[in-house]
């Protein structure tokens, strides 16, 4: 994945990445069968534990008891909706063009991000495969800790891109 934008210091780096395809999936009181059918269709089980992510053919982030964010090329949104029963009233909408994504990596990534959020990002607390919706630098964000990434991935509304680039560029200065 190529960098769109980058700021780096000795112990932390922040890169903007192209988010690729992203869809929001909403289900009303889904059954276990609904979850299994949709998981099989997209190649990744939908996480049912709060604040967890699942990786497979796609990355799926738990947003709420009835909502997930699906990152990656998967089945069409219409096919995903059709896989759920009528009772689950599925809605799957592409939102990737409206999002921007940053990765903060390195030994001081958690310390850098702690300047802008109240979430405890210590590795013993915010472990791999965790996610959270939070305020970050006064704006809504989804933060996750992908397995194998020495840091964090943050997803924001694309309209905030310039503000976030300036915030990261300023905040990273103290890490020399």
pLDDT at 77: 83
pLDDT at 154: 98
Do 77 and 164 lie in one domain? The reply is no
pLDDT at 88: 78
Is residue 59 within a helix (H) or strand (E), and if so which, with residue range?
A: strand 59-64
Residues 6+ apart with CB under 8 A from 32: none
Do 102 and 171 lie in one domain? The reply is yes
Report residues of the chain scoring pLDDT below 70: 1-2
pLDDT at 158: 98
Residues of the domain holding 43: 22-96
**Distances in whole angstroms, Cα of residue 137 to Cα of each of 33, 53, 140, 168:** 39, 23, 8, 10
If you write DSSP's letter for every residue of 70-116 in order, what string do you get? EESS-S-HHHHHHHS-GGG--EEEE-GGGEEEEEEESTTHHHHHHTT
């Amino acid at each position: 994945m190529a960098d769109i934008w980058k700021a780096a210091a000795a112990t932390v780096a922040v890169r903007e990445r192209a988010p690729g395809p992203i869809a929001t999936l909403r289900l009303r009181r889904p059954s276990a069968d609904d979850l299994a059918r949709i998981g099989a269709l997209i190649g990744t089980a939908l996480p049912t534990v709060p604040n967890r992510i699942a990786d497979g053919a796609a990355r799926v982030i738990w947003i709420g008891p009835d909502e997930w964010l699906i990152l990656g090329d998967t089945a069409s949104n219409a096919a995903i909706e059709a896989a759920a029963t009528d009772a689950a009233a599925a809605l799957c909408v592409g939102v990737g063009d409206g999002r921007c994504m940053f990765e903060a990596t390195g030994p001081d990534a958690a310390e850098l991000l702690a300047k802008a959020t109240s979430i405890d990002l210590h590795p013993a607390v915010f472990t791999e495969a965790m996610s959270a919706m939070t305020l970050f630098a006064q704006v809504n964000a989804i933060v996750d800790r992908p397995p194998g990434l020495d840091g964090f991935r943050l997803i924001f509304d694309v309209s905030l891109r310039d503000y976030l680039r300036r915030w990261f560029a300023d905040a990273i200065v103290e890490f020399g």
